[in-house]
């Protein structure tokens, strides 16, 4: 029989590998067992497996008999370890109940503390702790949390009652409440429960426990957990574990405290302990951002100019013990740890450890430092950095020379620069962002309900909360710049305005945040382009040493090409020549070509375009200095180039000499119902060969010119789009070859070149064996291949795709991450059939998937030679390709 529950601490055995397997006991449970196993002070407890959560949700919220029996036995383990009994009126055991999924989902799931208190046990707690005030405060906290999390009551009701009680007594802070005040509030809280539910607050401690367990299980399917999973690609069928643990109290007076800490700075990666603590407080007070916490170390306190003593100064013994634990944990896990701890009357207890979330900058620094310290090797360093996180470093930062109108300074909670219009709530953030606005979400503090707004925003600003508040943790995880705890900010929700010091702003005004310094600035501050240097460059070198596939870029302007080369691109995988047609100086010649009635008319217009295209290619070949360049001939349907507006038609009439009526008629003739499946791709080249002929001529003339002037070998790869049959490619390859020969004869020199095709239709994949007879290379155009295989439009699917992903019909947006199961089969098969015909067939991918890490892993598996990604994704692709190689070893 597989175990449903694993005990830890208090003398439990930790030898069963399932107990420390995150897939079974969740991240929190596995690490608690592991910490207890290496002898750290962990309050005894037990973990209910994720498997039980999945079973419970599948079987309609029912607990198995085995689970009930195993939980009862595990409770006895805790009772024996702490020498107290659950529900004992004289000396009660209290427990915490927390969720803990396989990966951490900060703030997404529910927690209940102080469970086991009722009208009888509260008296026992008062007697054993000799602190009546503490006992009744704990009881009211429990009722408040339990009612919110388990009974589904609005926590506002309880907060309001507390506010009223304080007001009536003339108190300002919670700390002024006496034992009698808390006791009276408990009566009131119980009244609220009775009134709202028609039943009393549960007094049976076992009922309380099972209620909390089911609430944690149910929280796996809560809306906020689902949103978090969708944003972070976490499968819905993992489930969460439940951790039940003997309570330790950080709120037992001034020798007690609670805190969170990182073994290194999660924002910068600096090797310095980093964290916050609160004296006489309970765990959730720190994370919730209600009280502003104090610094952990004296150095951090001094750097911040704060006066409240650091833990190092206020509790030197407990601090020293904690620092020893930090060292031990880093050595054990060989990674930076994110820790929760409590000091109960001077005694340190560890409540959690996990690999800490970090910014990309910190991830790179830690990886490089840990290699230097001998803690990890280069391979581990390469595998440790999340490729997508690099995105944070590949975006502009504030120009240090630009003028800044600094309104205030908060905590530098998540680095990066962000400008946008102020919005005051998450829904507005999402709405405005949905219509293409850049927004900055400004809140007093954020809670898990704000997650969608934080995601939609460019950056987040909060008035309250420390560096480990919800806003800070979530923003860092998402890579959103965040300034937290900017106490000069006050928000007026009624007038939808905010005041920052003496300045008044309205919703919609523009702000700039610098999440690396904490500065909040009025207006938009100019930015500068990122650079690949320092730790970033070092890690990239290590990655390149382990990478098999080449990384190219999708680029068509010299500026993009230069950027991509700086980021390490090893060639161009896709140059979409149509982008060059949209240039303001050229569009009228393009339109003239499209609107011509005859080949002669088209050739006349094409002759105007030839020198323009040639100079584009000269620039590109020169910029790429001998690296391979794949140039794709014209792909989109011609009507895309035609005017829409009256004024544009009038302009075009002026330029071409055609009447407006004629132009409109021509435009109407070109209209298509399904342009994506219409007159586009190689079909243009088949029907209007003069277009491809001009483009091929421009390519070869440019290649000859650059070869001549630079002396470098230029090897153009001419790519034909949307091929579905061998015959299409045969006709067009001949056209390109003939043009090449003509140009070479004219120039008196020859060049090496290749003609190949995109594989972006299912038929092309199926017929790859035949098509490879005509093609020297294949480049998988997985944008179109996804569209045509799934029968889902690239342009019209936004309306239903989100629902499809939410319902798990697609695991991820198939245009972002390759549908490996379906579309992947076609790629795999085309690779196999193509190579069977032509063993040296060059194979690459140039759809958007070429910059997506999981798709890149697939490309490694099927043996492509290269991936091609947009310039900003090149470093991501380099790292992802290296990781794919390493994992394949």
Residue least distant from Mg ion (Cβ): 784
CB of 725 to Mg ion, least distance (A): 17
Q: Which does 847 bind (CB under 5 to 8 A by kind): Mg ion, ligand PEP, none?
A: ligand PEP
CA 1 to chain CA centroid, Å, is 39
Closest CA to 754 of 702, 727, 718: 718
Q: Are strands 95-101 and 92-93 parallel, antiparallel or unpaired?
A: unpaired
HSE-CB at 656 with a 13 A cutoff on CA atoms is 28
DSSP state of 466: -
Is residue 837 a contact partner of residue 858, using CB atoms and an 8 Å limit? no
Give me the phi and psi of 233, to 5 degrees please.
55, 45
**Residue from 14, 77, 452, 470 carrying the catalytic annotation:** 470
Nearer to ligand PEP, 418 or 634 (CB): 634
Q: Which does 456 bind (CB under 5 to 8 A by kind): Mg ion, ligand PEP, none?
A: none
Catalytic status, residue 470: yes
CB of 563 to Mg ion, least distance (A): 23
- What is the C-alpha separation between 661 and 653, in angstroms, rounded? 9
Nearer to Mg ion, 781 or 853 (CB): 781
Nearer to ligand PEP, 389 or 575 (CB): 575
Q: Which does 132 bind (CB under 5 to 8 A by kind): Mg ion, ligand PEP, none?
A: none
CB of 578 to ligand PEP, least distance (A): 8
For tokens 């999390």, what's the residue?
149
HSE-CB at 784 with a 13 A cutoff on CA atoms is 25
Catalytic status, residue 849: no
CB of 722 to ligand PEP, least distance (A): 8
3-state secondary structure of 672: coil
CB of 649 to ligand PEP, least distance (A): 27
Strand partners, 353: 339
CB of 814 to ligand PEP, least distance (A): 12
What x-and-dash track marks residues 209-248 binding Mg ion by CB under 5 A?
A: ----------------------------------------
HSE-CB at 782 with a 13 A cutoff on CA atoms is 33
- What is the C-alpha separation between 135 and 458, in angstroms, rounded? 44
CB of 586 to ligand PEP, least distance (A): 19
Nearer to ligand PEP, 36 or 684 (CB): 684
CB of 846 to Mg ion, least distance (A): 8
For tokens 């001077």, what's the residue?
346
Nearer to ligand PEP, 431 or 725 (CB): 725
Q: Which does 37 bind (CB under 5 to 8 A by kind): Mg ion, ligand PEP, none?
A: none
What x-and-dash track marks residues 723-762 binding Mg ion by CB under 5 A?
A: -------------------------------------x--
HSE-CB at 885 with a 13 A cutoff on CA atoms is 20
Joined together, the tokens standing for residue 692 give 């491809």
Please give the size of the binding site for Mg ion, defined by CB under 5 A. 3
Q: Are strands 527-528 and 397-398 parallel, antiparallel or unpaired?
A: antiparallel
Q: What would the 3-class secondary structure string for 149-203 be? A: HCCCCCHHHHHHHHHHHHHHHCCCCHHHCCHHHHHHHHHHHHHHHHHHHCCCCCC
Nearer to Mg ion, 46 or 780 (CB): 780
- What is the C-alpha separation between 838 and 769, in angstroms, rounded? 8
State the CB neighbour count (10 A cutoff) for residue 473: 26
Residues 6+ apart with CB under 8 A from 180: none
Binding span for Mg ion by CB under 5 A among 335-343, 774-782, 818-826, 856-864: 774-782
CB of 858 to Mg ion, least distance (A): 19
Is residue 692 a contact partner of residue 633, using CB atoms and an 8 Å limit? yes
Q: Does 37 bind Mg ion (CB under 5 A)?
A: no
Distance set, CA 294 to CA 70, 274, 307, 546, 582 (Å): 41, 11, 9, 44, 57
Nearer to Mg ion, 791 or 839 (CB): 791
Is residue 722 a contact partner of residue 759, using CB atoms and an 8 Å limit? no
CB of 596 to ligand PEP, least distance (A): 25
Is residue 271 a contact partner of residue 347, using CB atoms and an 8 Å limit? no
Nearer to Mg ion, 35 or 843 (CB): 843
Q: Which does 312 bind (CB under 5 to 8 A by kind): Mg ion, ligand PEP, none?
A: none
Nearer to Mg ion, 265 or 784 (CB): 784
State the CB neighbour count (10 A cutoff) for residue 213: 22
DSSP state of 674: S
Q: Which does 728 bind (CB under 5 to 8 A by kind): Mg ion, ligand PEP, none?
A: none
- What is the C-alpha separation between 398 and 406, in angstroms, rounded? 13
- What is the C-alpha separation between 817 and 855, in angstroms, rounded? 6
Q: Of residues 756, 781, 844, 875, which one binds Mg ion by CB under 5 A?
A: 781
Binding span for Mg ion by CB under 5 A among 590-598, 648-656, 693-701, 773-781: 773-781
Q: Left if phi > 0, otherwise alpha if psi is -120 to 50, otherwise beta: which for 530?
A: beta
Nearer to ligand PEP, 448 or 834 (CB): 834
Nearer to ligand PEP, 342 or 855 (CB): 855
Q: Of residues 218, 265, 570, 784, which one binds Mg ion by CB under 5 A?
A: 784
Q: Which does 354 bind (CB under 5 to 8 A by kind): Mg ion, ligand PEP, none?
A: none
C-beta contacts of 883-889 below 8 A and 24+ residues apart: 883/382, 883/383, 883/387, 883/543, 883/853, 883/857, 884/549, 884/856, 884/857, 884/859, 884/860, 885/546, 885/547, 885/548, 885/549, 885/860, 886/379, 886/382, 886/383, 886/546, 887/383, 887/857, 888/860, 888/861
CB of 742 to ligand PEP, least distance (A): 28
In which element (H, E) is residue 115 found?
strand 111-115
CB of 844 to ligand PEP, least distance (A): 11
Q: Which does 411 bind (CB under 5 to 8 A by kind): ligand PEP, Mg ion, none?
A: none
**Residue from 53, 482, 682, 846 carrying the catalytic annotation:** 846
Q: Which does 782 bind (CB under 5 to 8 A by kind): Mg ion, ligand PEP, none?
A: ligand PEP
Nearer to ligand PEP, 24 or 620 (CB): 620
Q: Which does 74 bind (CB under 5 to 8 A by kind): ligand PEP, Mg ion, none?
A: none
CB of 579 to Mg ion, least distance (A): 13
Binding span for Mg ion by CB under 5 A among 106-114, 188-196, 601-609, 782-790: 782-790
Q: Which does 20 bind (CB under 5 to 8 A by kind): Mg ion, ligand PEP, none?
A: none
- What is the C-alpha separation between 506 and 424, in angstroms, rounded? 10
Interaction site with ligand PEP (CB under 6 A): 574, 576, 635, 760, 781-784, 846-847
Q: Which does 846 bind (CB under 5 to 8 A by kind): Mg ion, ligand PEP, none?
A: ligand PEP
Nearer to ligand PEP, 236 or 675 (CB): 675
Binding site for Mg ion (CB under 5 A): 760, 781, 784
Active site residues: 470, 846
């Amino acid at each position: 029989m597989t175990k449903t529950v694993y005990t830890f601490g208090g003398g439990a055995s930790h030898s069963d590998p399932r107990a420390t397997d995150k897939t079974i006991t969740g991240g929190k449970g596995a690490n608690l067992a592991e910490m207890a196993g290496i002898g750290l002070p962990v309050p005894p407890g037990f973990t209910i497996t994720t498997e039980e959560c999945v079973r419970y949700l599948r079987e309609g919220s029912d607990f198995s008999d085995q689970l009930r029996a195993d939980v009862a036995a595990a409770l006895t383990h805790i009772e024996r370890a702490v020498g107290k009994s659950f529900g004992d009126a004289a000396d009660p055991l209290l427990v915490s109940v927390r969720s803990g999924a396989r990966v951490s989902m900060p703030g997404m799931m529910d927690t209940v503390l102080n469970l086991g208190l009722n009208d009888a046990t509260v008296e026992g707690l008062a007697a054993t702790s000799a602190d009546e005030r503490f006992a009744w405060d704990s009881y009211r906290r429990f009722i408040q949390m339990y009612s919110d999390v388990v009974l589904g009551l609005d926590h506002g009701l309880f907060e309001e009652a507390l506010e009223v009680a304080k007001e009536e007594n003339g108190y300002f802070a919670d700390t002024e409440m006496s034992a009698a005040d808390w006791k009276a509030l408990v009566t009131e809280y119980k009244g609220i429960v009775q009134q709202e539910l028609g039943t009393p607050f549960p007094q049976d401690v076992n009922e309380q426990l099972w209620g909390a367990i089911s609430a944690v299980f149910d929280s796996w399917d809560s809306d906020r957990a689902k949103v978090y999973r969708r944003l972070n690609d976490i499968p819905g069928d993992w489930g969460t574990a439940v951790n039940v643990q003997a309570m330790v109290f950080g709120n037992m007076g001034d020798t007690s405290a609670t805190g969170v800490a990182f073994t290194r700075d999660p924002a910068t990666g600096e090797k310095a302990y980093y964290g916050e603590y609160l004296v006489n407080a309970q765990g959730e007070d720190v994370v919730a951002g209600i009280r502003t916490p104090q610094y952990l170390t004296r150095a951090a306190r001094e750097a911040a100019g704060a006066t409240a003593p650091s833990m190092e100064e206020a509790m030197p013994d407990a601090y020293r013990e904690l620092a020893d634990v930090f060292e031990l944990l880093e050595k054990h896990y060989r990674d930076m740890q994110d820790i929760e701890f409590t000091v109960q009357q001077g005694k340190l207890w560890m409540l959690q450890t996990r690999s800490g979330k970090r910014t990309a900058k910190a991830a790179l620094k830690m990886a490089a430092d840990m290699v230097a310290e001998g803690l990890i090797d280069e391979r581990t360093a390469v595998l440790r950095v999340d490729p997508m996180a690099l995105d944070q470093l590949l975006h502009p930062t504030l120009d240090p020379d630009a003028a800044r109108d600094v309104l205030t300074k908060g905590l530098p909670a998540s680095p990066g620069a962000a400008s946008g219009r102020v919005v005051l709530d998450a829904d507005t953030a999402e709405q405005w962002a949905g219509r293409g606005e850049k927004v900055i979400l400004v809140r007093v503090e954020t809670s898990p309900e704000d997650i969608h707004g934080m995601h939609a925003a460019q950056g987040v600003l909060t008035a309250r909360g420390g560096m480990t508040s919800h806003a800070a943790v979530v923003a860092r995880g998402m890579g959103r710049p965040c300034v937290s705890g900017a106490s000069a900010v006050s928000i007026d929700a009624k007038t939808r305005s905010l005041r920052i010091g003496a300045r008044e702003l309205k919703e919609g005004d523009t702000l700039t945040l610098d999440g690396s310094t904490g500065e909040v600035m009025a207006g938009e501050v100019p930015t500068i382009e990122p650079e690949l240097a320092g730790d970033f460059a070092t890690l990239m070198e290590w990655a390149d040493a382990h990478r098999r596939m080449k990384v190219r870029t999708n680029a068509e302007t010299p500026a993009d090409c230069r950027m991509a080369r700086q980021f390490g691109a090893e060639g161009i995988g896709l140059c979409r020549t149509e982008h060059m047609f949209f240039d303001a100086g050229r569009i009228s010649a393009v339109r003239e070509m499209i609107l011509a009635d005859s080949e002669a008319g088209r050739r006349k217009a094409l002759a105007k375009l030839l020198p323009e295209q040639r100079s584009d290619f000269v620039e590109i070949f020169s910029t790429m200095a001998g690296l391979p360049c794949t140039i794709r001939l014209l792909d989109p349907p011609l009507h895309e180039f035609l005017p829409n507006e009256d004024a544009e038609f009038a302009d075009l009439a002026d330029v071409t000499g055609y009447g407006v009526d004629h132009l409109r008629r021509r435009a109407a003739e070109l209209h298509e119902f399904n342009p994506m499946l219409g007159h586009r791709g190689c079909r243009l080249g088949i029907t209007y060969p003069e277009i491809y002929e001009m483009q091929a001529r421009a390519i070869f003339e440019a290649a000859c010119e650059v070869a001549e002037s630079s002396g470098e070998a230029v090897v153009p790869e001419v790519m034909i789009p949307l091929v579905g049959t061998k015959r299409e490619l045969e006709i067009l390859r001949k056209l390109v070859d003939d043009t090449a020969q003509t140009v070479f004869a004219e120039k008196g020199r020859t060049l090496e070149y290749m003609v190949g095709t995109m594989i972006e239709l299912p038929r092309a994949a199926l017929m790859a064996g035949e098509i490879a007879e005509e093609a020297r290379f294949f480049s998988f155009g997985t944008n179109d291949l996804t569209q045509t295989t799934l029968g889902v439009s690239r342009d019209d699917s936004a309306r239903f795709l989100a629902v499809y992903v939410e319902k798990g019909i697609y695991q991820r947006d198939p245009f972002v991450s390759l549908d490996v199961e379906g579309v992947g089969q076609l790629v795999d098969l085309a690779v196999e059939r193509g190579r069977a015909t032509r063993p040296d067939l060059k194979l690459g991918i140039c759809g958007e998937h070429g910059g997506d890490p999981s798709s890149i892993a697939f490309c490694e598996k099927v043996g492509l030679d290269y991936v091609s990604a947009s310039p900003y994704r090149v470093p991501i692709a380099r790292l992802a390709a290296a990781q794919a190689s390493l994992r394949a070893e």
